[in-house]
Amino acid sequence: MKAEIIAVGTEILLGQIVNTNAAYLSQYLTNLGFDIYHQEVVGDNEERLLKVLDEASKRSDLVVVCGGLGPTEDDLTKQTVAKYVGKPLVYDEEALAHVIDFFKYSKKPMTENNKQQALTIEGAKTIQNNAGLACGLFYEKKRTRYLLLPGPPSEMKAMAEDGVTPLLREILPNHTKLVSRYLRFIGIGESRLVTYLKELIDNQTNPTIAPYAKSNEVMLRITAKCESEEQGNQMLDVMEKEINQLVGGYFYGYGENLTMEEVVVSLLKEKQQTLTVVEGLTGGLCQNRLTDIPGSSSVYPGGFITYSTKSKADLLGLSVEELESKGVYNQQTVEQLAIQGSNRMKTDYALAIIGIAGPTNEEDQPVGTLYLALKTPTTVLSETMIINRERDYIRDGAVKHAFNLLRKHLE
């Protein structure tokens, strides 16, 4: 079945707020088995909303309208949809009681326009709002169904999860399920990954493959249409095996929101080993990401930010003049920083990160030059690379590739 989303609100058109509801609803409806082909954003204008509703009704089985259900004059969604389907608005007694009780409980005077939030279209099924005041509704007209949801994201999500899911499954039964899996890769760009997977992508039917370029990494979403989650996972297993035969050397984990720091903290905990970090150009970014993970203190006791040449010289037990004469940005320096960091913190592992984030070249080396080192219990490993991008992207890449150096050793 086809579904489309209409977001109502002039503030969205003007860029005053980000339309996060559309992203949530697209994924939500897709997971229920709907096909999403269109999204629209329209301002608080009856004439334009009527036009968008007419276009959507001609091409979709389910039209989801989000926003414009509040008490103010520019909240026109219910009135406009009611006009379009040729039905009057009526009060839902349960929703009205909820609005009245809210103001009684909060001991605030209720203005008459607040009752507007309890209006529903005659003949529609009202969806109660347990996270706010404006009720939603579901209305069927011939082949098209209309689902109206509140605009505040917390209210919209709560209503979708509490009231909408069983309603859609009951009224619009769809036995097709979508099962997705997210594969994450580092050390390869999107264009090269897609090139390696070209034959699989060109011939995809079910499951499908969707690449997403992330900062310094790539994510693949593979999705199977199926009748059961078990069947879907079996289909995804086959597809994943084919993908990893081609690019498995760059794979580092599963999950839409997985981070490299989560992977390395988990591995360190599993092996009961500890890590310290010595940072130059990243200025604490690496350590900040580690300490964002609850429980990371069991494997990460602390580290060093050696941003200036003097701080590097102090950690290495050298003079600034000596370090400058030899050069700061080289493999020897980064390896010694890792060794000294491990020695001082008495950890099993140490990562060191130095390089040139810009805006100018240093020591005749270009912006984006990175030196990474890993001190292990038995040896020291190092890597050199160049990331030819803007400053924040370079710093992010330095952190992720340093973590990846450790991950590859721990796995």
Residue spans per domain, the chain: 2-171, 177-254, 260-410
CA torsion sign, 99 to 103 to 106 to 108?
positive
Q: Which CATH architecture has domain 2-171?
A: 3-Layer(aba) Sandwich (3.40)
> Does residue 281 surpass a pLDDT of 70?
yes
Residues 372 and 353: beta-carbon distance below 8 Å: yes
Q: If pLDDT is split at 50, 70 and 90, which confidence band does 111 have? A: very high
248-269 per-position pLDDT tens digit: 999 999 999 999 999 999 999 9
> Does residue 177 surpass a pLDDT of 80?
no
Share of the chain above pLDDT 70, in %: 99
Residue 35 is predicted with a pLDDT of 87
> From CA 176, how far away is CA 25, in angstroms rounded?
18
Q: Right CATH number for 177-254 from 3.10.580.10, 3.40.1670.10, 3.30.70.2860, 3.40.190.10? A: 3.30.70.2860
- Hunting for tokens 């605030």 — which residue is that? 108
Residue 279 is predicted with a pLDDT of 97
> From CA 192, how far away is CA 196, in angstroms rounded?
6
Token digits of residue 128: 């109660």
Average pLDDT over residues 347-353: 98
Q: Is 312 left (phi over 0), alpha (psi -120 to 50) or beta?
A: alpha
Q: If pLDDT is split at 50, 70 and 90, which confidence band does 173 have? A: low
9-43 per-position pLDDT tens digit: 999 999 999 999 999 999 899 888 888 999 999 99
Its pTM stands at 0.75
134-151 per-position pLDDT tens digit: 999 999 998 899 999 999
Residue type for position 256: E
Query: What is the average pLDDT score of the chain?
Result: 94
> Does residue 174 surpass a pLDDT of 70?
no
Residue type for position 293: I
> Does residue 54 surpass a pLDDT of 80?
yes
> Does residue 229 surpass a pLDDT of 90?
no
Q: If pLDDT is split at 50, 70 and 90, which confidence band does 221 have? A: very high
Q: If pLDDT is split at 50, 70 and 90, which confidence band does 172 have? A: low
Please state which CATH number belongs to domain 260-410.
3.90.950.20
